[in-house]
Amino acid sequence: MSDTTHPFSPLKRPLAKLSLVAAAALFLAACGSNYRPVTYPIVTSGPAQLPSAYAFVVSAPSTSVLGIGTVIDYSGDVVMATSPLGPTPVGFAMNSGGSLAWTLNGDGTIANIPVSTNLQQKNVQFSTLSLYSGIDPRVNLFSGSVGLYALDVNTNQVDVLTGAPDAFKLVVPVDESPVTMEGVSLAQRYYTVSQNIPYLSNITLDGNSVQGGVACNIDPYSPSLPAGTADGIETTTYSVSSHIPVGVCPDYAVGSLDGQRVFVLNRGSDSVSVINSEINAIDSCAPFNNQNGQPVTCHPSLPLTPTNGLPHAGPVYAEYNQATQQLVVANYDGDTVSIIDVSLDEYGNDSPTFGTTYTVPVGHNPASVTVLADGSRAYVANQSDGTVSIINMISHTVEKTLAVNGHPRTVASIQNSLYGKVYVVSPDSPYVTIIRTDQDIVGTSILVSGNALDVRVTSPDTASNNPNTVSRIPGAGQPCNLPPADFTSTGAAITIQNCRLQDPTQL
């Protein structure tokens, strides 16, 4: 007889099996009656990709070899592309967007260069210009939003080129010896700056017979030199609408990004002429009150006071910083940088602080300066010292001085992320020095083909600073490719040939 009380009794097995089935059914019923949330995985995308930014360097291996264009990537400090350009490039300009560049070449041609990581020799196209007496009379190129301009100091005119590649369109007569141009994108007018010194003729300067093209390098402070002018060229009609007087030996100009003011650097007058481009005249006016009843003061010129016991300032280059509304000027002969308030009030008049200037001593012969887009620091190329000075724009003091390759003539900056980079090139060095701005140290140096003529940057922050749309050829007031100590003190020793990059191998 079976014991039905035993847990494993045969009589209890069906009941046990039934209990398990019932429990499972109840469990399934319970699960089906509740809401079961559906989850989807969240795929993280990370930070937004940084916009592309590049440095574009033009170098010259020798007079017998084509110049070379080099595209350097900001993020990796690597060469992305290289391409031959024209022979013996002497000038280099880039448009405000950084997509196109041009070189003025020793054979009288202009190379049209699409700046990208896909740059190849087949992409480079050429425009032909004539030569005069074996010397190219065009001293600079300027990229405007409605064409390319070549300044001809022999015939005292500006050649306008349009199209792709750029082809000659017409000639605009201007004052004698035009040396540089200025204009922001979509401006109503551009300004051609002329020195009024016969460029290719011998003139008497302090008892010496010298060529006019380098008079402003030999002795820009000679009392025998005339004042310059700035001619307003209307962009719609290509006609001259004004002849505005400026200082002696004007050599560079830069404008505010709103197009309301133009600043002309006068090396021979130690000053900056201020042009009110709204009225197309020098920024001078009779005393009056603005809409708030406050007196308005206009500034026809801004004096640059020499320091360090030197007799002159000698401005040769400047940048306008949009974030701080300041003009930052490199004073080549005074070993200083001038930081000038050029802000406007809400009515477009000079603000009460307009013209306030801080003078910062730097190294010997500062040839150029670049300002970070946020206006926090400025970097100065000291040509004779072979250094770069780093200026704190708040305290107006030099925080650090870094040694770089060669005798630097150009600096350009990119601020594209948490930190930026500064590119430094020297006409007597084939290395591009790259400074990291997060630590203000030399991050690396990149070898290019031949000595570097110039550098420009293409970056989203170019809208905050001077876009550098004009080339800077040595001579006519701009620093020569070697420091002054490498020339003799007699004026006749400096000629057009040795104050321009005619033979880079001889530097």
Question: 379, 442, 368: which is closest to 409 by C-alpha?
Answer: 368
- Residue 450 backbone class (left: φ over 0; alpha: ψ -120 to 50; beta: rest): left
Give the CATH number, domain containing residue 93: 2.130.10.10
The verdict on residue 5 lying in a domain is no
**How many Å apart are CA 39 and CA 388, to the nearest integer?**
57
DSSP state string for 191-228: EEEE--S-TTSEEEETTEEEEGGGHHHH-TT-TTSPEE
Number of H helices, E strands in the chain: 2, 37
The verdict on residue 35 lying in a domain is no
**How many Å apart are CA 260 and CA 402, to the nearest integer?**
36
**How many Å apart are CA 286 and CA 293, to the nearest integer?**
15
Question: 268, 256, 175, 261: which is closest to 215 by C-alpha?
Answer: 268
Looking at residue 23, what is its pLDDT? 54
Cis preceding-peptide flag for 165 (omega within 30 of 0): yes
Long-range contacts of 279-282 (CB under 8 A, 24+ apart): 280/189, 280/232, 280/241, 280/242, 280/244, 281/242, 281/244, 282/244, 282/245
The verdict on residue 184 lying in a domain is yes
- Check the CA dihedral 198-157-465-258 and report its sign: positive
The verdict on residue 115 lying in a domain is yes
- Residue pointed to by tokens 């400090």: 77
Contact 407, 364 (CB under 8 A): no
The Cα-based distances of 53 to 77, 107, 233, 442 in angstroms read 11, 31, 32, 19
- A 10 A CB-CB count for 431 gives 18
The verdict on residue 373 lying in a domain is yes
- Which H, E and C letters describe 68-86, residue by residue? EEEEEECCCCCEEEEEEEE
Question: 413, 406, 339: which is closest to 373 by C-alpha?
Answer: 413
The verdict on residue 47 lying in a domain is no
Contact 291, 284 (CB under 8 A): no
Domains identified in the chain, total number: 1
**How many Å apart are CA 139 and CA 195, to the nearest integer?**
12
- Report the first-to-last Cα separation within the chain, whole angstroms: 121
- The residue range of the domain holding 337 is 54-506
Looking at residue 21, what is its pLDDT? 52
The verdict on residue 11 lying in a domain is no
pLDDT in tens, the chain (507 residues): 445 555 545 545 554 454 555 555 555 555 555 666 666 777 666 655 556 789 999 998 887 789 999 999 998 899 999 999 988 888 889 888 788 899 988 887 899 999 999 999 999 999 877 655 445 566 788 888 778 899 888 789 998 988 888 888 899 999 999 999 998 777 889 999 999 998 777 787 777 777 777 788 888 999 989 999 999 999 989 999 999 999 999 999 999 988 899 999 999 999 999 999 989 999 976 566 666 667 767 788 999 988 878 899 999 999 999 999 999 999 999 999 999 999 998 888 888 899 999 999 999 999 999 999 889 999 999 999 999 999 999 999 999 999 999 999 999 998 876 778 999 999 989 999 999 999 999 999 999 999 998 999 987 655 555 567 888 888 888 988 776 654 444 444 555 555 754 333 333
Which residues, in sequence order, are CB contacts of 313 under 8 Å at separation 6+? 270, 304, 305, 306, 331, 333, 334, 336, 338
Contact 150, 162 (CB under 8 A): no
The verdict on residue 20 lying in a domain is no
**How many Å apart are CA 440 and CA 461, to the nearest integer?**
19
Can you read off the two tokens belonging to residue 28?
């399934």
